[in-house]
């Protein structure tokens, strides 16, 4: 099990990489030295709320999104993702999804 610091650091690192930013570039954007950012990304150091706000802003995301560890809880992520599709589906789409699920579970037996 990972600690909160490790999970948050991993999210920051993943988001930084998604944006194609080097660690040095992000450190510069948030006015932090590179070793401190490295320690945050590795879960060795926590940060102040102000630093968290600057990092989220530099990563073009919200603080809340940085604390979304759903990739560490795949079932919760899948259910949430499926629910998003269901919430925006037409009645016709819902019927189709139901038919597909029924067929899947019948063949699975």
Cβ-Cβ contacts under 8 Å for 81 (sequence gap 6 or more): none
Q: List pLDDT tens digits, range 78-87.
A: 777 788 889 9
Q: List pLDDT tens digits, range 24-79.
A: 999 999 999 999 999 999 999 999 999 999 999 999 999 999 998 776 566 665 77
């Amino acid at each position: 099990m990972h600690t909160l610091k490790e999970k948050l650091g991993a999210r920051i690192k993943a988001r930084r990489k998604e944006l194609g930013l080097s660690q040095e570039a992000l450190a510069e954007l948030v006015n932090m030295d590179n070793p401190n950012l490295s320690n945050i990304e590795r879960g060795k150091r926590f940060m102040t709320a102000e630093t968290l706000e600057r990092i989220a802003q530099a990563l073009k995301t919200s603080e809340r999104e940085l604390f979304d560890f759903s990739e560490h809880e795949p079932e919760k992520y899948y259910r949430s993702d499926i629910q998003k599709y269901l919430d925006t589906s037409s009645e016709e789409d819902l019927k189709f999804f139901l038919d597909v699920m029924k067929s899947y579970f019948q063949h699975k037996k």
